[in-house]
Amino acid sequence: MPSVFISGSRSLARLPEEFCRSLDRICEQGFGVLVGDSERGVDALALDYLRVWGGGSPYPHVTVFTVRSRPRVKVEGAWGLEVVPGEPGSTGRALQTAKDRAMGERADWGLAYFNPIEINRFGNLQVSSGTLRNAVQLLLAGHPVKLFYTYEESARAADLSTIEDLEAVVERYQAERLGEEERAAVLAGATARDRAAGKDAAQVKFEKIAAKLQALIRDEQKRRTVQATLDLG
């Protein structure tokens, strides 16, 4: 059966209604669902929704991916569980990236929620790169992505077929009107160079997201080129 890779930012506390309707359509068509085992954010929220889909019994066609011997979330009896070992010696973020890549390689399309930027524990601006990386992988492989993204404090959606579609979504952040709280947080986390240049918060935010996206595209294109060369050899 076709499979959908569900991913999204760990900072999100709820799923918008339209995202849940997309989950409903996936289930109604009997598609497979591939999702990670994060106990926070979109992974956990989507799994909670799928546990009670259709009146209380879990939706059966779910595979939970983990890098641990024991997943961080409850895996229902009807669900599959797949452990992704990653590269020897890899830890932390590299293991989680390997897990996401395994799901991306299995999926026919993606459903993602991108909450673009936040202040990390060191007080610096941090782009939610995992969600972007997953979208880039799928799009370069020719698989469509339905992307939900936070914009002006609300959820918007875009149907993506190409990398250019994803770049067009990111371009919209140049014109975003930020709320006072987010504006203050972005400027507080901006570099001294950005502040000295007099950039407004929306421009700082956009440039961070755009730079991260282009770096992820280059990395994925390089990875695909290397893999193609290895396959030929």
Sign of CA dihedral 109, 99, 124, 219: negative
Q: Which two tokens stand for residue 220?
A: 């994925």
Tens of pLDDT, residue by residue over 40-58, are 999 999 999 999 997 778 9
Give the global pTM.
0.92
Going along the chain from its start, the domains and CATH numbers come out as 3-232 (3.40.50)
Cα end-to-end distance, the chain, whole Å? 32
Average pLDDT of span 159-165: 98
Confidence of residue 142 (pLDDT cuts 50, 70, 90): very high
Q: Which two tokens stand for residue 61?
A: 């066609």
Q: Which of 81-90, 125-134, 187-196 has the lowest mean pLDDT?
A: 81-90
More confident residue, 88 or 11: 11
More confident residue, 181 or 172: 172
Contact of 69 with 81, CB cutoff 8 Å: no
Task: Return d(Cα 140, Cα 158) in angstroms, integer.
Answer: 17
Q: Which of 38-42, 199-203, 229-233 has the lowest mean pLDDT?
A: 229-233
pLDDT for the residue numbered 89 = 62
Residue 85: strand, helix, or coil: coil
For residue 112, with 0-12 CB atoms within 10 Å meaning exposed, 13-18 middle and 19 or more buried, which class applies?
Answer: buried
Q: What is the mean pLDDT of the chain?
A: 92
What is Dmax (Cα atoms) for the chain? 56
Average pLDDT of span 56-66: 94
Confidence of residue 124 (pLDDT cuts 50, 70, 90): confident
More confident residue, 224 or 144: 144
Neighbours of 186 (CB within 10 A): 23
